[in-house]
Amino acid sequence: MRKLFVGIAIFIGVLVAGILVFAATFNVNHYRSTIQSQLERRFGRPVTLGKMHLSIFPPRFRVQDLAIADDPSFSADAPFVKTQQLDVAVKLMPLMHKQVEITSLDLLKPNVNLIRNLNGTWNFASLGHPGGPPTQQEPENPSGNRDKEGNAKATTQGQSNPTPEPQPESKQQLSMEELTIRDGQISVLDQKKSKTPSLYDHIDVTLKDLSPDSPFTLDAAVHMAGSGTQEARLQGKGGPIVSEKPEATPFDGNLNLKQVKLGDLAKFLNSPVLNGTDGVISGDVKLSNNSGKLTAHGTTDIQSAKVQGMELGYPISARYEITNDLNADLVTIHNLALKLGSTPFDIAGTADLKSTPAIIDLYLQAKDISIVEAAKLAAASGIAISQGTTATGSLKADIHANGPANKPALNGNIVGTNLQLSGNGINQPIQVPSINLALRPVTIQSNQFEVNSGATKLLAQIAIHNYSTPGATVDAAVRSSNAQLPAIIAMAKAYGVKAAEKVNGAGNINLDMRASGALKSITVADITRAMNGTVNLDLNDVTYSGANISQELSSIAKFLNPSAATQTSKTA
């Protein structure tokens, strides 16, 4: 047994010594042209290499400052890939015989430029394609007379070469056991949609078993730049790659979102849609691509959600099945069950992405749901009540939205019952027994509804005309007999009129107001700025401090003609 161990030790020592001698006498630069030509043949692009070093364990060449040229029809100057360091893994035994057989590539911090031209063709579609028909490039060595590495074989004098079968130029040749990108940056420019590229950083990608005619495996991850373990990871199996139409490449996999902050995701995607939002998003999505139809089926949850800095105070969750027809740029929402806290909404329909903005055809339904969560979201977005106001009650909605996504035409109804507003300095709750909003393609029209606070009762009605056009207008009417000033101030505060915070006092008011004006958007700020008209007030025994009552009440209502108001007041 001892002799066996001694023999093994001697064998290992001789092997290590042989490898060290081999490494010391191996001149890596003698193989620069071999490695360069193999890379050029695999990628079908010119390749430039910097300094090279050899590592034995594991056997690989380390190359500095690699650059792979772009398809000249896209960019003649900027490279397709440029990386600080490339590790070229090779087989050990052929290397011992001074032969190079590449098995995998590992790129450290590469910059990758992806471009889609106006014809819809990507610059990576030509990767691995020969530069021209073999019979034109090397007539004395037909493509059928090559070894397995693609090198031309020598022929015996007098022996004729067999006529090769014609091979299409577009046949993809890129293949290797593994291709890895570590901490890469990818620039994506879709010339059909933008003139400015989008940058995506801190990306890791591993492709295994990459070959033109068989499936490959993919493991890609994005690490967000913020704190915590923020990661979006895509894993799955795809292929064979359809080089002429990459979006048609088959794929089945899973996308996992792990504690990703919406603020950091907005920076990564450079998406204005997410501006002003924050929260922590997690989810698991099953992805499947079949002939260019990408289907996503899964769940997503958002915790600690914020909109415009306001904490919503409830989670947002979504369960969905969505298909994106990449050939037609058409997104179909088969079903989307959205929950704001415990409040459910059902959404279905389509979005045509060929135009900007997208053309939507969506249906939204909500049946007898609590208004609490929706009111918080509306307040944070500046659409309705002010921040800090609590809303309760129930809501039914049945809405069809059709047209440009930024200003669609609406059809349907929103019905609210037993609505109540409190908090935010409101001494007595504000109650709306019932309100019905009729949504039509040209007009959003409410019924005449009551607004009550204590002994004060208002009758109000509002209409927004041409809301989907730049010429939108608002038309509102408010009437009340012997209303109490504190109740009116509380209603104004609940609605979000900032001027109401400057007024206090007591007294009675008779209101008969009608207001109309141009409207830029359906928000509290724009509605109040747009309102104008006349105000007829009959004030008796009103006390106030710190402000002129005519100016302040006109500011509360946002009317531009306070001179029409009549008052009888007592200054404190």
Distance CA 572, CA 568 (A): 13
411 or 194, greater pLDDT: 411
Whether pLDDT at 110 is above 70: yes
Distance CA 49, CA 35 (A): 9
Residue environment code for 507-539, b if the CB has 16+ CB neighbours within 10 A, otherwise e: bbbebebebbbebeeeebebbbebbebebebeb
Distance CA 136, CA 142 (A): 9
pLDDT-based confidence at residue 513 (cuts at 50, 70, 90): confident
Q: What is the pLDDT of residues 151-167, one digit of tens each?
A: 444 444 444 444 444 44
Question: DSSP code of 563?
Answer: G
Dihedral angle over CA of 291, 294, 298, 300, nearest 10: 170
Distance CA 240, CA 247 (A): 12
Specify the 3-state DSSP secondary structure of 378: helix
Cis before 58? omega within 30: yes
Residue 522 tokens, joined: 């359906």
Cβ contact 192:116 at 8 Å: yes
Specify the 3-state DSSP secondary structure of 318: strand
Question: DSSP code of 447?
Answer: P
Residues in Cβ contact with 358 at an 8 Å cutoff, skipping those fewer than 6 apart: 351, 352, 404, 405
Instruction: Give the least confident one: 250-259, 283-292, 388-397, 533-542.
Output: 533-542
Q: Which of 295, 304, 258 is nearest to 277 (CA)?
A: 304
Q: What is the pLDDT of residues 432-448, one digit of tens each?
A: 999 999 999 999 999 99
Distance CA 1, CA 444 (A): 94
- Does this model's pTM top 0.95? My answer is no
Q: What is the pLDDT of residues 301-336, one digit of tens each?
A: 999 988 877 788 889 999 999 999 998 999 999 999
Dihedral angle over CA of 232, 235, 239, 241, nearest 10: 30
Distance CA 408, CA 520 (A): 15
